[in-house]
């Protein structure tokens, strides 16, 4: 799922974090981490800053 779509889901559900589950189809999904609104926003901000410093040709 894209970061933007995930952020929209978090905002729409009014929650701050969501579990990240493994996609191995060999049993029950396992939680492998958590993603937060803040972490998504930090990644998006970093991408924007890098894009302005290193514009694509």
pLDDT band for position 57 (50/70/90)? low
Instruction: Output the pLDDT for position 28.
Output: 84
Tally of domains within the chain: 1
Per the DSSP assignment, residues forming a β-bridge with 18 are 35
> For 5-54, how does the pLDDT look when each residue is reduced to its tens digit (9 = 90+)?
999 999 999 999 999 998 766 778 899 999 999 999 999 999 999 999 98
Instruction: Output the pLDDT for position 40.
Output: 96
Selection from 3, 27, 30 nearest residue 19 by Cα: 30
Instruction: Output the pLDDT for position 36.
Output: 97
Instruction: Output the pLDDT for position 33.
Output: 96
Q: Which domain holds residue 22?
A: 3-53
């Amino acid at each position: 799922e894209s970061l933007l779509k995930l952020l929209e889901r978090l905002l729409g559900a009014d929650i701050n974090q969501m579990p990240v589950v493994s996609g191995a189809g060999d049993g029950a999904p396992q939680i492998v981490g958590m993603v937060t609104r803040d972490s998504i926003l930090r990644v998006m901000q970093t991408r924007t800053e890098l894009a302005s410093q290193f514009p694509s040709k």
